[in-house]
Structure 1
Amino acid sequence: MKAKRETDFRRTVIDLVRARHPVLLVESHEDSRVLEVLSDVARDPALKRPRNVVAFTLSRGLHVPGEMGKAVAPVDALAAAMKVPDPTIFVFFDLQHFLGGKGRAPEPAIVRGLQDVAREFRTGQVPHTLVIVAPSLDLPVELEKEVSVVDLPLPSRVEIEVVLDAIISANAAQIEVDLSEDDRQRLLQAAQGLTLGEAENAFARAIASDRRLDAGDIELVLEEKRQTIKKSGLLEFIDDPGSIDDIGGLENLKTWLDKRNGSWLPSAQEWSIPAPKGVLITGVPGCGKSLTAKCMSSLWGLPLLRMDVGRVFSGLVGSSEQNMRASLKLAEAVAPSILWIDEIEKGFGSAGGGDSGTSQRVFGTFLTWLQEKSQPVFVIATANKIDNLPPELLRKGRFDEIFFVDLPTTAELKVIWKIQLEQRLTPDSKASGDIEINNSLLGRLAEESNGFSGAEVAEAVVSACFDAYSERRALRDTDLIRTIKNTVPLSTTQAEQIRAIREWASQRAVAATSAQDQSEYEIPVPVDTGDVASWRGGRRIDF
């Protein structure tokens, strides 16, 4: 059974071949996979005249796949292709070395050769198609109107399952397979986002290590994925995101996330609900926005990918747009997944200008994907200065909800102090001993730290522990009180900015703090801040 996404690619290629689009470009590292799909396309009944398939590489020249050839120059191969009398799909590899990019000028003879091919294949008597396959290619401006770009997604779960079954079958007499159906599905999910070759390598390594394939190998496959994502240089795989219990307060936001847990699963369709698109979290710096993004991974049991928008932008014309498309493509291949964009305003806040339109094009690519994406990729974006963001990003339909995270209430401060103290004062810590973490202490600390953010509470505990360490003794409550009094919180030093954030959020966002916490306790506000507005055959392994 063909996976839907590959079927879409196949249908697109068939339509373009029938319409006699002369030159196609497929950006992919998977030469064998592309060649296999194109060979299948060439025999499709939808084509009234079946096509032959001829490949070109620098080492073997023009040759029938699976047979030996003789090296010829690309320009000679292009000229020879125009003289072939039978309908053919020519698959050219290695042309990226001649078409420029990364500061290199394209070779004029190759560019002209492709232009001649495009003209001949479009209007000639014999229906030919030339497909350029390259890992990455910046088309010369002369070819932009001649080449049709076709996107080949990373392999689906169905394709990866074929590879898994093939490698198990090829080594069945020498290995033991101990996988429940649930473990098998988790193993396949762990391999999504890898190419077929990468997935085969991961499965082979897992089997070769102990001649077994079991649930313990899932982590090894995940490590292969981490390496792949790391090599991309665009996304970061967050390994240890933390627990949702590490977040003090924000019950309204946590409840919203909990209600949507599992909503990307096929079973959720019985309730006629779509997979959630994402959430934008704005608010006072240091109050748990990034922590919430990290902890969502453990709450939902999904991989967390962090996008650094700064890495997307590149000094080469066209590279930024390509980087954005590659990032989104990788996130979809790993789906279901969580894509975290931290401080999104720093990447898209200047989408209007000064860079020849690059920011606008990258931003437009992201907006279109955010609106039209079909894969369950939940986007969680955080922002400190949301008023810097373009209004197009904030309109309904982009994100499911916009949440505002304010300074902690008194009730939330007590929870935050409890979490931070328990993390530091463990039984093995020499700082433990003199402090009893009870309601009385937590109430006093919350009162004294009125106007503190969660990050400032965490730093206050660390500073107090340093005081205790300097005297090689246990931590005392007086250390905590003294640290609080010696701290000037952000709510005081940036009172005007916080007031502006609150004024914006009062009419445009949902409070992350629960209604109960807001009604029973007054939100701590320093007096000068104003009022509160609230992703072949089996490989035999050499054992």
Structure 2
Amino acid sequence: MPLFAEARRDLDSYIAARIPVVGLRTIEQPRAMRLVREAAGSPARAGLPFWVYTRATGLRDLRTNAPVNEDRSLTGAMEFAAAQFTGRAQATVVFVDPDDVSGDSPFTRHLSELARLADSNSGCLMLITDTPIWTGLLRLGMTLQLDLPDAEEMYTQITSFLGDHHGVVPIEWTEQDTRRAAEFLVGVTEAEAVNLLATIVAKGSVKREDVHLLARAKDRIFGDLAGLERVQVKEADRQIGGLATLRAWLRNKRELLESDLRGTGLRPPRGVLLVGVPGCGKSLSAKAISAEWRLPLYRLDLASILGKYVGESEGRLKDALETVDRISPCVLWIDEIEKGLAGQNDSTGVNRRLVGQFLFWLQESDSRSFVVATANDVRSLPPELFRKGRFDELFFVDLPDEADRREIIAMYYQRYVKVAPPQDLLDALVSMSEGFAGADLESALHDVGAMRHIRGEAAVTPAFVRDTFANTMPLSRTNPEQIEDIRAWGRDRAVPAGTPAPAPEPGGRGGRRILPQPGVGGGF
């Protein structure tokens, strides 16, 4: 059931039961007022009086908007409410954003007295506020939370808005486009959604590609996010070499992420955990996914989450993850997750609580936020992180094989040297680069491109390129024990992100295998 309809049902029951005080918590006052007016407009309540007080308009009749008296002060409105609750039955007075009601104060105690007067004569005191309500007041009644519109409400809002503009401007959106736009707008207020749609219509047409404008506009609304860093993705980040199995798997996940899952029992894809050798494309994958899927990329900085006070770290992580739900659909990148969630030597218990909080969100959240977490020292991660149902899959990113190195070298040669490499030179570089990570290949070809920029094309001879590769010392040679240790772990415990390994010999022990999937090409 849509959130607005559910809140309307609950409010109807509270009014019918003559609950003496009803707290309606929301950041959308206009939407809350529409909710109250719909409840008051029920034919069964035609004879019941409803008044509403706001700071700007004073006290007015809720249905006719006629002013009640010239005194616009809050004190005058409270005196009027006391008189009505004393002198007539079943009166309802609504206060919109009154003074601070979160703590024990003379004002909240005054409201408590009004609630008791209302209770004595079947009246109702209703408070619309965006802050918590003092428990001493809430014990006299009930509270109701009006959350931001969900995707179904947004779809209805968009359909209504576009319907008002049919025949006025050309509209190319299909129902699927409208559903996609509704998913993008989840997390903003109804007023913000209307403003964003009006901005698109003001261009003079509504084109299919405008759906993605909503994601960028929504991103500007959430420009200052505690614990989250907005990562600007370049067009070049769309390209990535190797990792064929991972790319095919992500292609299917993208289709699921963009699908209409209503009535299927399915949930949007949760994310992927990438472990493996440093410099082999784990972090680059997060940027590539964001660029290819045309979704904003946010980096969760676990170091900034940690605080020095008890409960501070947990509160910051909770706020950050709630914000991720609001800004979805998005890609959430957690780089070197082991540095924030490791905790084997943590005596305070903070890391264990952060792990529990993160895993609960990862499993229970139904937002379309796709998590890309990377790890190098995977042994320091808590074992519950690997349980099926948290991340959709665990991939191991190994050193690129010959085919992957060929693709990566050709890609970076084209990017930095501005031409395709000669075939004989490409063959030589692939042979020379055994044990190179993707970052090593990029670094070597960046040096080649820098020489071309400084000395001109004539300086970039095949001999110079081969010498550059020969002088590059990869991590697999400077620290072979560590790299081999990582590779030994990944072969048996994770799906290979690159070209699947051949089947093991009968009776032999092989690592995890994944069937090749069709449609592997450039990008994700």
For the aligned pair, the TM-score class normalised by the smaller chain equals 0.7 to 0.9
In structure 2, what is the equivalent of residue 252 of structure 1? 245
1:113-145 C-alpha deviation (Å, 9 max, x unpaired): 57x4699599867474654522xx578898999
Identify if the C-alpha distance between structure 1 residues 361 and 179 changes in structure 2 by more than 3 Å, giving closer, same or farther: same
Letter in 2 for 1:133: T
Q: In the superposition, relative to structure 1, how do residues 189 and 415 fare at CA in structure 2: closer, same or farther (>3 Å)?
A: same
Change over 3 Å in CA distance of 1:72–1:278 after alignment to 2: same
| 2:522 aligned partner | none
How far apart in 2 are the matches of 1:472 and 1:19?
A: 84
Which of 68, 72, 75 does residue 74 from structure 2 map onto? Answer: 72
Q: Is the 8 A contact 1:282 1:386 kept in 2?
A: yes
SS at 2:255's partner residue?
Answer: coil
Instruction: Report deviation, 1:227.
Output: 0.6
1:452 counterpart residue number: 436
Matched, 1:36 2:34: yes
What CA deviation, in whole Å up to 9, does each residue of 1:397-436 have, x standing for no partner? 211211111222233222211111111232xxxxx5xxx6
TM-superposed CA distance for 1:288, in Å, is 1.0
Alignment deviations for residues 3-61 of structure 1 (CA, whole Å, 9 cap, x no partner): 62434455566677769696646352x2211232344456679x999987655555556
**125, 129, 132: which is aligned to 1:133?**
129
Structure 1 residues 53 and 230: alpha-carbon distance in aligned structure 2, compared to 1, 3 A threshold: farther
Match of 1:402 in 2: 394
The SS at the match of 1:403 is strand
Residue equivalent to 1:156? 150
Over 3 Å counting, the alpha-carbon distance change for 1:473 and 1:188 in structure 2 is: same
1:441-481 deviations in Å (ceiling 9; x for gaps): 23322333333221221122112222333333442333333
1:378-527 aligned within 5 A: 378-426=370-418, 437-474=421-458, 475-516=460-501
Q: Counterparts of 1:128-207 in structure 2 under 5 Å? A: 128=124, 130-134=126-130, 137=131, 152-164=146-158, 167=161, 175-181=168-174, 184-185=178-179, 187-207=181-201
User: 2:381 corresponds to which letter in structure 1?
Assistant: L
1:289-328 pair list within 5 angstroms:
289-297=282-290, 299-300=292-293, 302=295, 304-310=297-303, 324-325=317-318, 327-328=320-321
Mapped contact 1:82–1:117 kept (Cα < 8 A)? no
Q: Which residue of 2 aligns with 1:282?
A: 275
- For normalisation by structure 2, the TM-score amounts to 0.74
Structure 1 residues 409 and 176 mapped into 2: Cα distance closer, same or farther (>3 Å)?
A: same
CA distance in structure 2 between the aligned counterparts of 1:485 and 1:81, rounded to whole angstroms: 91
Shift of 1:251: 1.7
Q: Deviations over 1:458-505 (max 9, x none)?
A: 122112222333333442333333333443333344445434433443
Where 2:425 maps in the other structure, the secondary structure is helix
Aligned residue in 2 for 1:223: 216
How many residues get paired? 497
The answer as to 2:4 corresponding to 1:6 is yes
Gaps of 5+ in 1: 100-105, 427-431, 520-531, 535-543
* Residue in 1 that maps onto 2:516: none
Q: Which runs of 5+ in 2 are unaligned?
A: 505-509, 513-524
Separation in 2 of the partners of 1:38 and 1:189?
27
User: Percent identity at matched positions?
Assistant: 29
Match of 1:429 in 2: none
- CA change 1:77–1:386 in 2 (3 A) is farther
Preserved contact between residue 81 and residue 114 of structure 2 (Cα < 8 Å)? no
* Structure 1 Cα separation of the partners of residues 263 and 74 of structure 2: 58
| Separation in structure 2 between the aligned mates of residue 195 and residue 403 of structure 1, nearest angstrom | 38
The answer to which of 230-239 and 362-371 deviates more is 230-239
One-letter amino acid of the counterpart of residue 2, structure 2: K
Determine whether 1:26 maps to 2:28: no
Matched, 1:262 2:260: no
Q: Tell me, yes or no, if the aligned pair for 2:219 and 2:327 is still in contact at 8 Å.
A: no
- The Cα shift of 1:236 comes to 5.2
**Match of 2:372, SS?**
strand
Matched-pair contact (CA < 8 Å) for 1:22–1:121 = no
Deviates more, 1:310-319 or 1:242-251: 310-319
Match of 2:90?
86
Determine which of 327, 332, 356 is the counterpart of 1:339. Answer: 332
| TM-score when normalising by structure 1 | 0.72
1:529 counterpart residue number: none
Structure 1 residues 128, 282: CA separation in 2 closer, same or farther (over 3 Å shift)?
farther
Identify if the C-alpha distance between structure 1 residues 111 and 459 changes in structure 2 by more than 3 Å, giving closer, same or farther.
Answer: farther
- Equivalent residues of 2:296, 2:330 under 8 A apart: yes
Q: What is aligned with 1:527? A: none
Which structure: larger Rg? 2
The 1-side partners of 2:97 and 2:449 are apart by 61
SS in 2 for 1:223: helix
Q: Relative to 1, partners in 2 of residues 1:252 and 1:94: Cα closer, same or farther, differing over 3 Å? A: farther
Maintained 8 Å contact 1:20/1:121: no
SS for the counterpart of 1:178 is coil
Q: Tell me by how many angstroms 1:221 deviates.
A: 3.4
- Residues 468, 323 of structure 1: CA spacing in aligned structure 2 closer, same or farther, 3 A cutoff? same
